[in-house]
Copies of this chain bind each other. A is one copy, B any other.
């Protein structure tokens, strides 16, 4: 798996250091939308020299290169996700678990028993005025 991840990082334009490979491997094998703290808690067991700053900087690089995505929930926590294909997240207000769900869920009849109470939608792009001057 290390060779595959190393190749994947190179394809994304990222030099594959040992720590970057381990963080990317963690993201690909943990679909739990971890935070920097979650990743640190797990990975520092096997890599004691790993710092939270390195994890944060690596994740920022991986996000910039499109290898992972990040999103922030209502408690102001940043989560990271190795699933980069377009999808929505559902956060349970009771247990706090975050699920991957299809984006058009809002128009459907709340499949699989998910009880939606509110939705936060943010689009990113270029506004009409900036498009005009580009």
Binding site for B on A (CB under 8 A): 70-74, 76, 78, 86, 88-95, 97, 99, 101, 103-107, 112-132, 134
B93 touches A123 (CB 8 A): no
Nearest Cβ in chain B — how far from A56, in angstroms?
A: 11
Closest 7 CB pairs of A and B: A113-B128, A88-B121, A92-B127, A94-B130, A72-B72, A117-B125, A115-B126
A120 touches B114 (CB 8 A): no
Contacts of A97 in B (CB 8 A): 127
14 more A-B contacts (CB under 8 A) besides A92-B125, A114-B126? A71-B122, A72-B73, A76-B78, A90-B127, A94-B134, A95-B129, A95-B130, A101-B123, A103-B106, A113-B131, A113-B132, A115-B126, A117-B124, A119-B124
